[in-house]
Amino acid sequence: MSRPQRDALDALLRSVPRPEEPPTVEEQRDGFAAAIARPAPEGVTTRRTVLGGRPALGLEPAGAAARGRLLYLHGGGYAIGSPDTHAGLVGELARRAGLRTTSLDYRLAPEHPFPAAVDDGLAAYRELLASGTDPRDLVVAGDSAGGGLGLTTLLAAREAGLPQPAAVALFSPWTDLTLSGASIRAKEEADPIFVEADLRDYADLYLGTQDRTQPLASPLFADLAGLPPLLVQVGSNEMVLDDSVRLAGRAGADGVEVTLEIGAGLPHVFQHHYGRLDEADAALDRAARFLTAHLEAGRLATVR
């Protein structure tokens, strides 16, 4: 692990100037794309597709396994981001896991507030199953708001009587839109990306005056029983640290197999910085192994 790399990344993230006037949502979307977007890695083929009635980006690594499918839900506070902004990160995870992947372009707030994103996630998941994908051959992943959306998609699937996938990997998931975690305040100075007002603004755009404790908005408050094994990766230097810590505790109490990894000195969705940060590469490798191990376990169970 590289302390100089972590320090350099922290300094880089802190060097981004904050505008004097609050940017519009469109300006935030453009700025996020310019700051974070990376192309899919070499050897990963991309194509435009549609899933669950929404545009999506298909990513297929060379030599991908004949079986096994990954559904990815991107981050961005439910208001910004897209499969294009996340093509690099998602492509890296797909490449390391050797899995055909679909990254969903779900509807964004404020044009499409809650529960539009959950409806889109469920429609995509439902179509994967309806098209013949065995749930034991399906895994789900997401980052930040997309991590929360991954959970709420599966909660909605459970309510609809649909089977669960083999496993779920979450990077810095945003699971509590009430912002009640102690780290929201305790980690504000350590977080090089957000201040509390940023998170509150995103929650306002997504939920407006709706109840922020409802499980399909804040899955931290849901009964998680019956969900598949979870891997949760989070940095210690982020305001939503407690969203992951409390999620892991809740999942364990509800009988869900859960693995929580906290990266010392790391920021929100540090996995974006693969190739420049040793911890990001190591975390993506562990996430890939986690997903493929549970896919293999499901196949062995089928044979038996």
Active site residues: 144, 238, 268
| DSSP codes, 220-249 | GGS--TT---EEEEEETTSTTHHHHHHHHH
Q: Is residue 293 within a helix (H) or strand (E), and if so which, with residue range?
A: helix 278-303
Query: How many angstroms separate the Cα of 156 from the Cα of each of 145, 163, 230, 243, 267?
Result: 16, 11, 17, 20, 30
Classify 203 as helix, strand or coil: helix
Is there a contact between 288 and 258 (Cβ–Cβ < 8 Å)? Answer: no
Q: Cα–Cα–Cα angle for 16, 18, 19, nearest 5°?
A: 130
Is there a contact between 131 and 159 (Cβ–Cβ < 8 Å)? Answer: no
Tokens representing 174 are: 């945003």
Q: How many Å apart are CA 64 and CA 229, to the nearest integer?
A: 23
Amino acid at 9: L
